[in-house]
Amino acid sequence: MKKQKITVLGSTGSIGTNTLDVVARHRDRYEIFALSAATQVDLMLRQCAEFKPVYAAMASPEHALLLAEKLKQNGLQTQVLQALDALEMIASHPDVDAVMAAIVGAAGLAPCLAAARAGKRLLLANKEALVVGGALFMQTVKSHGATLLPIDSEHSAIFQCLPEDRSSWHRRVDSLLLTASGGPFRERDPATLSAITPEQACAHPNFSMGRKISVDSATMMNKALEVIEARWLFDMEPDKIKVVIHPQQIVHSMVQFRDSSILAQLGTPDMRVPIACGLAWPERMESGAACLDFSRLAALTFEEADERRFPGLHLSWQALRAAEGTTAVLNASNEVAVAAFLEKRLAFDRIHAVNLQTLETVVPSALSSLGDLLELDTQARQAAEVIARQWIL
Ligand code: NAD
Ligand code: MG
């Protein structure tokens, strides 16, 4: 069997390193064509030594230079890239079969679209790219014959539960049930949310994840982004996407059919499962994750999300009902607010206030291209920065 060549965008992050863990278990099937990271030079050097990619892209010239020097000192041949279009090049290169999109934030949108335009198999962890790209993203995938496979565990679960024949989904499916852990503050008194520190917010009960998604899990904005992601991935009416809190994270999500039958996908909470599923689909291969041991499983519980504690969750449906592009505004605002919180410039409970006010301030007009979306993203970021400044700590 010819080996599949893979580009991993965001290889030094939580999803990126888990992807390389799965790839390392299947060197007979996969080889790494290119890796990319923002600033983590030493980890990138180790990854280059282990996987010998043709290219490694870094986000800034200083980090690229440092990596190039270290690669040379270690006698490694990987070519270092740094340019705005470097990510697009390694995502769309003719030699590449599949692209793992594991950059965090809207920064990952352009390379995702480049991979889609080149008709690649696109493994999407970078949910913000789809939240921003919306219909344009899905049209690009469709018109270039690319294959879009979800890596977000909830969407991978739904993808695995849905009938393979996409044309029959709407006839058969009643609704999608996204499960949510509820994050570390599910039982905390809402009156004390303002005192939460970045360290507390990033201590997720079940997963070790990047800092941005950890904060999003704590506010449940992660689930809001996932509702939007599901709307596009599965072409589902927003009102048919529901959220249920399931703290144990064993049931990764569910599909309810017309006859009230519900299919769920279960497993230990380990991102290597959806990663292996996406890489091998429609085959299955070993992921490295432990199997569920039903004899030792504690009770599985489900509850409704408390709106007072998680006011941001409902912004997803609100944004989906508003003008096209409103989800991009929400995403940009949330990225700005989360960054301000992580830099200790904004209180935890103000993240929602910034998002709400940015949505009221920035109203998108007609969008027809990636350029329009990126302009809207910039405009929303600027507005959110100004709004966040009024609550500066
Ligand atoms: P992370 O912060 O651990 O890693 C992000 C990666 O992207 C790093 O390699 C970083 O160097 C790179 N990066 C960051 N900003 C960049 C920029 N501006 N340009 C180029 N590269 C940049 O994040 P993560 O937890 O791995 O999450 C990655 C994506 O996957 C996010 O969109 C997240 O929502 C999604 N996701 C993560 C998990 C998880 O368990 N971690 C689960 C589901 C979905
Ligand atoms: Mg998820």
The domain spans of the chain are 4-151, 164-267+291-308, 322-393
CA 11–ligand 1 middle distance (angstroms): 8
Nearest to 281 by CA among 167, 176, 164: 164
What are residue 198's DSSP bridge partners? none
Round to whole Å and give the CA distance between 154 and 184: 18
Is 103's C-beta closer than 6 angstroms to any atom of ligand 1? yes
Which CATH code fits 322-393? 1.10.1740.10
Lowest mean pLDDT among 163-167, 176-180, 325-329: 163-167
Report the Cα–Cα distance between both ends of the chain, in Å, rounded.
58
CA 14–ligand 1 middle distance (angstroms): 7
Atom number of ligand 1 nearest to Cα 40 = 11
Helix axes 272-280, 153-161, angle to 10 degrees: 50
Q: Which of the ligands is closest to the CA of residue 59?
A: 1
Domain 4-151 has CATH 3.50.50.100: no
pTM above 0.75, yes or no: yes
At which residue do the structure tokens 């949910």 appear? 127
Round to whole Å and give the CA distance between 183 and 393: 24
> What was the pLDDT predicted at 18?
98
CA 233–ligand 2 middle distance (angstroms): 14
> What was the pLDDT predicted at 258?
97
CA-proximal residue: ligand 1, atom 4 (nearest): 13
Is 59's C-beta closer than 6 angstroms to any atom of ligand 1? yes
Atom number of ligand 1 nearest to Cα 15 = 26
pLDDT exceeds 80 at position 92 = yes
Mean pLDDT of the chain: 96
User: What's the mean pLDDT in 94-101?
Assistant: 98
pLDDT 10s digits, 355-376? 999 999 999 998 889 999 999 9
> What was the pLDDT predicted at 278?
98
pLDDT exceeds 80 at position 33 = yes
Q: Which of the ligands is closest to the CA of residue 210?
A: 1
Round to whole Å and give the CA distance between 343 and 335: 12
CA angle 336, 197, 219 (to 5 degrees): 55
> What was the pLDDT predicted at 205?
66
Tell me the Ramachandran region of residue 224: left when phi exceeds 0, alpha when psi lies from -120 to 50, beta otherwise. Answer: alpha
Q: Which of the ligands is closest to the CA of residue 204?
A: 1
CA 102–ligand 1 middle distance (angstroms): 5
pLDDT 10s digits, 281-325? 999 999 999 999 999 998 999 999 988 899 999 999 999 999 999
CA 125–ligand 2 middle distance (angstroms): 9
Ligand 1 pocket: which of 40, 104, 123 to mutate (most atoms within 8 A of CB): 104
Ligand 1 pocket: which of 103, 130, 233, 338 to mutate (most atoms within 8 A of CB): 103
What is the total residue count of the chain?
393
User: Do 254 and 179 contact (CB within 8 A), yes or no?
Assistant: yes
